[in-house]
Chains A and B, each alone.
Chain A
């Protein structure tokens, strides 16, 4: 199935801004993160179709996944 992945800020480095990705049916968000080689340590915000989602979330065809890194400076 195809999902759209949008990466933000430093997560784009060595990867991409926006891409349609072919992934196995019933993949979870965690599976996708592993594919993208994005570790838990790099995570800030994970959204599916604009809403906050957990790693175990099972993706559906044409879901839009948005991933942001963590910002802590002040």
Chain B
């Protein structure tokens, strides 16, 4: 990640750092003085035993090397709506270093019931722009690239080096296209789908055909009648993020062919093997 010159600069900067806990202000100052991206500064700091205070409540769970690894990672989120908005928020707070967001849509009034990026004051605004704005407020270290295009206009170069993909799309057709693309690029895909009280989450490892199995029957999906309340979107998104972080930290088996299905009306959780 670092050139020799950058490493020297950072060593000098941190040589003056007395306390082991690094505040946001200190990190930003070092980034500014050395002209090195904030993400790189935090990554370096963690490697030298300095703990960015903003990640203090992550470290007990992720570990210092885990936190450092997440700063190196690159993920792509397809869809910045109900699922995608929460996925983006949680990844930013967990310290995921590089995020690509794909969504051609603008914020609509009908999004207000569940989408984190939708606000009364930003209707009509492009979702990728709102994602960028949100990240600037929550975690400036995250490097974000937004693509306000539909999936079939997104070139492979935009995502082929991603470590992980989140399928937060609102239709089955595009989900299946996405699964094929991720398989070709050898990117594990975290699948999520929601409707009413119900949701499902699964990890689609490349070349397993799991998503084709899930949507084999291509029946009429029930969110068309039920809609989606906020809590269903938040729960599914959080399950997706947890699954994604497990993968990135190497705590996940690529032999999994499971899907978790939840029913919030009956409070039932099923693990299905496909």
> Which A residues lie at the B interface, using CB under 8 A?
8-10, 17, 40-47, 50-52, 66, 68-74
Q: Are B217 and A74 in contact (CB under 8 A)?
A: no
Known contacts being A8-B263, A10-B226, is A71 close to B219, with CB within 8 Å? no
A-B contact pairs, 30 of them (CB 8 A): A8-B198, A9-B263, A17-B266, A41-B219, A42-B219, A43-B217, A44-B221, A45-B259, A50-B272, A50-B273, A52-B213, A52-B274, A69-B221, A70-B215, A70-B221, A71-B195, A71-B199, A71-B200, A71-B223, A72-B222, A73-B195, A73-B221, A73-B223, A74-B79, A74-B167, A74-B168, A74-B169, A74-B171, A74-B192, A74-B193
> Which B residues lie at the A interface, using CB under 8 A?
79, 81-84, 167-172, 175, 192-200, 213-228, 259, 261, 263, 266, 270, 272-274
Q: Are B222 and A9 in contact (CB under 8 A)?
A: yes
User: Top 5 nearest A-B pairs by Cβ distance?
Assistant: A72-B221, A73-B223, A43-B217, A71-B193, A74-B170
Known contacts being A72-B195, A74-B83, is A44 close to B223, with CB within 8 Å? no
| Residues of chain A with a CB closer than 8 A to B196's CB | 9-10
Tally of A-B residue pairs with Cβ under 8 A? 102
Closest to A71 in B: B193
In whole angstroms, how far apart are the Cα atoms of A41 and B273 in the complex?
22
Nearest Cβ on chain A to B99's Cβ, whole angstroms: 17
In whole angstroms, how far apart are the Cα atoms of A50 and B271 in the complex?
9
In whole angstroms, how far apart are the Cα atoms of A57 and B195 in the complex?
29
Q: Are A73 and B170 in contact (CB under 8 A)?
A: yes
- Of A10, A46, A51, A73, most buried by chain B (CB within 10 Å of CB) is A73
Q: Are A70 and B170 in contact (CB under 8 A)?
A: no
Q: Are B220 and A41 in contact (CB under 8 A)?
A: yes
Q: Are A43 and B169 in contact (CB under 8 A)?
A: no
Q: Which of B168, B194, B217 contacts A46 (CB 8 A)?
A: B217
| Residues of chain A with a CB closer than 8 A to B270's CB | 8
Known contacts being A45-B272, A47-B272, A51-B273, is A71 close to B221, with CB within 8 Å? yes
- Of A41, A43, A74, most buried by chain B (CB within 10 Å of CB) is A74
Closest to A54 in B: B216
Q: Are A43 and B200 in contact (CB under 8 A)?
A: no
| Residues of chain B with a CB closer than 8 A to A40's CB | 217, 219
Nearest Cβ on chain B to A56's Cβ, whole angstroms: 13
Q: Are B194 and A71 in contact (CB under 8 A)?
A: yes
Known contacts being A8-B270, A10-B196, A47-B272, is A74 close to B81, with CB within 8 Å? yes
